[in-house]
Amino acid sequence: MPAPSPPKPAKTLSAPQKALIKLGLKRDIDLALHLPLRYEDETRIVKLRDAREGDVAQIEATVTACEITLRPRRQLLVTVDDGSDTCVMRFFSFYPSHQKALAVGSRIRARGEVKGGFMGLTMMHPSFKAAGGNLAEALTPVYSTVAGLAQAYLRRAVITGLNHADLSETLPQGIDWPDRRGSWALRDALQFLHHPTPDVSLAALEDRSHQAWIRLKCEELLAQQLSQLTAKRERDLLRAPALKFKPDGLYGQLLAALPFGLTNAQQRVGHEIAQDLARHVPMHRLLQGDVGSGKTVVAALAAMLAVDAGWQCALMAPTEILATQHFAKLVGWLEPLGVKVAWLIGSQKKKERATMLALIESGEAALVVGTHAVIQEHVKFKNLALAVIDEQHRFGVAQRLALRSKMQAEGMEPHMLMMTATPIPRTLAMSYYADLDVSVIDELPPGRTPILTRVVSDHRRHEVVERIGAQLQEGRQVYWVCPLIEESEALDLTNATQTHADLSEALPGVMVGLLHSRMPVAEKKAVMDLFTRGQMGVLVSTTVIEVGVDVPNASLMVIEHAERFGLSQLHQLRGRVGRGAAASACVLLYGTPEGGRLSETARERLRAMVETNDGFEIARRDLEIRGPGEFLGARQSGAPLLRFADLDTDAHLLEWARALAPQMLDQHPQLAERHIHRWLGGKSEYLKA
């Protein structure tokens, strides 16, 4: 019997091949969809006398001088003459081969940005090659790349991908396009965008309004809608415990025991959640509401439906401070009703953790509150039926899946309620959250006073300190938020430690506390307890108090270097005040470089904060400023963000894709499957979270 053949050695990938994989370009279709960032016009030669300053021009000229100079730094200076004018090409990075190729008398073709000046025309680091040869017939694409992947290699790879990719149509024949410009064939659109003809409008290419771009945007948005709808339909086939409402149960008892009444919005949202929980299909609902709108009590009422039915509920928060706040509030509401609340955080002592784990596993703890510690492998629930995730955008896909996996009942999934204090703009909800049912608390509890917001230069810092003194004399408390814990050489920002020392000196007799993420947990808890009980007048903090902290007596929020914060974060921080009946204010202290000005983006953020307290309007402006990638946070961990479509300018295309997706799944399921695979590959798995 012959000996078996040895296994063939795995093929070793070259550096450029590894770089392609790093870019996510693994399939032919990935290469075909890797569209240019910009284009270079190598289709014509320009005379130097006709080149305007700032233009990128391609010239053919003769080298008349080539020398290395050492002042002001080592550089290669090459003078060229094309018969109409001369130009000096400067190279700060060069090799002996450059000097050889640019020897006096050489005829070259060079391309670069033309600059004028006292010494005449110049080009900095132009690209060049020997003169002659045919001019390009189309604009030359320039692609996004990574180290080790040259443009020339990438261009060849893209052409290969275009030639080999299956670009057959996946859209049904006879569909109504949202824009007649979108009806180009996919192959034609891709060929054109990779190699546009010189007569095309560069503006239409750059602002992506050309008909070839419209076709790509339609395809991309449709793939997103199809994948979201597919995930939602697959989830609807799963089973979950039906948690029926009991008229005389804990839900009603909690409502009766609360020291306040629910707003109309809270009642409406509570009813929507109760309807979901009564079904055998797993709820997958996003509860969004502005800062202070009362999401926690809605979650507590949902938890009571689970407990009433004999099941457990878990509430997971992103920080220990927020988890602690939830725990204290829920214990106060629920333990008088006989509901045992356990809690789990990473810094817990071993003995306390063991006690909590036993309560959870036995089912004695009906509600479990905690941080990521809730999803650790050794945490065993007896019968988890409802999982609540607060500030859901702070958690990734794997963490949400881990919480879902805690349900012990075979063949069943827990209900999921995800909460966010960052309202989701409509177009974002229609696209990235299309797989979820969305509830909105669009009403604040009565008695909340509007927060007055002022933008103040750091030069008037002393006036702000005087204002703090006045607030303290009235028996109020103050937050002062800093962006850094310690000095950074990169950013000239005053640190929290120094601010704490300065305020302690400026406010003698006042207890000034300090809170930041590097403090031991026990120390953080002690500081927060002092502030919550009203014994501490001023709390200097980093952004660890961004969410969840509820001190009704605090009436002034000072945010230092406010120009460094995102709009959503500024709104969250402002929401720490205005939680009582007293008039509240937020001061946005900004600093600028010596003699400089704030950036346009920073000015837009600060202007929005002054003009509105409405979280939904803040969210809309935030989306405009930042775009969806940053806005979404970790929800889309592992997910493809929209590369081509813009939710602001392409809302009509999104409406079209949203209407077409269910028709395709119902009437053309195979085309729908091919379309999703083409655009997303295996990346739509994240939707299952």
Structure tokens, 275:
């309807």
Q: Is the pLDDT of residue 464 over 90?
A: yes
- Comparing 11-15, 125-129, 500-504, which segment has the lowest mean pLDDT? 11-15
Q: 252 falls in which pLDDT band (50, 70, 90)?
A: very high
**Quick one: pLDDT at residue 683?**
60
8 versus 241: which is more confidently predicted? Answer: 241
Tell me what percent of the residues of the chain surpass a pLDDT of 90. Answer: 47
How many residues does this entry show for the chain?
Answer: 689
CB-CB contact of 278 with 242 (8 Å): yes
189 versus 423: which is more confidently predicted? Answer: 189
Q: 10 falls in which pLDDT band (50, 70, 90)?
A: low
Mean pLDDT of 139-149: 88
CA dist 611 and 600 (Å) reads 16
What are the CB-based long-range contacts (under 8 Å, 24+) for 459-464? 461/589, 464/558, 464/587, 464/589
**Residues carrying CATH 2.40.50.140, the chain:** 44-130
Q: pLDDT by residue (tens digit) across 27-48?
A: 999 999 999 988 888 889 999 9
**Quick one: pLDDT at residue 448?**
72
Fill in the amino acid letter for 511: M
- Comparing 3-7, 278-282, 450-454, 654-658, which segment has the lowest mean pLDDT? 3-7
Tell me 509's DSSP state: T
Q: Which CATH number fits domain 250-441: 3.40.50.300, 3.65.10.10, 3.40.50.1100, 1.10.287.370?
A: 3.40.50.300
Nearest Cα to Cα of residue 218 among 657, 672, 662:
657
DSSP letter for each residue of 562-586: GGGS-HHHHHHHHTTS--SSS-EEE
CB-CB contact of 314 with 252 (8 Å): no
Does a cis peptide bond (omega within 30 degrees of 0) precede residue 72? yes
Q: Is the pLDDT of residue 635 over 70?
A: no
Q: Is the pLDDT of residue 478 over 50?
A: yes
Q: Is the pLDDT of residue 197 over 80?
A: yes
**Quick one: pLDDT at residue 491?**
47
Structure tokens, 125:
């680091």
536 versus 646: which is more confidently predicted? Answer: 536
**Residues carrying CATH 3.40.50.300, the chain:** 250-441, 451-612
Mean pLDDT of 108-126: 91
pTM, whole model, 2 decimals? 0.75
Q: Is the pLDDT of residue 547 over 70?
A: no
Domain 451-612 fold: Rossmann fold (3.40.50)
Q: 8 falls in which pLDDT band (50, 70, 90)?
A: low
**Quick one: pLDDT at residue 143?**
92
Mean pLDDT of 560-585: 85
Q: pLDDT by residue (tens digit) across 574-616?
A: 988 887 777 899 999 998 765 567 888 888 889 999 998 888 7
Instruction: Please give the CATH architecture assigned to the domain spanning 44-130.
Output: Beta Barrel (2.40)
**Quick one: pLDDT at residue 688?**
52
**Quick one: pLDDT at residue 4?**
54
Mean pLDDT of 639-645: 72
**Quick one: pLDDT at residue 629?**
57
Q: Is the pLDDT of residue 553 over 50?
A: yes
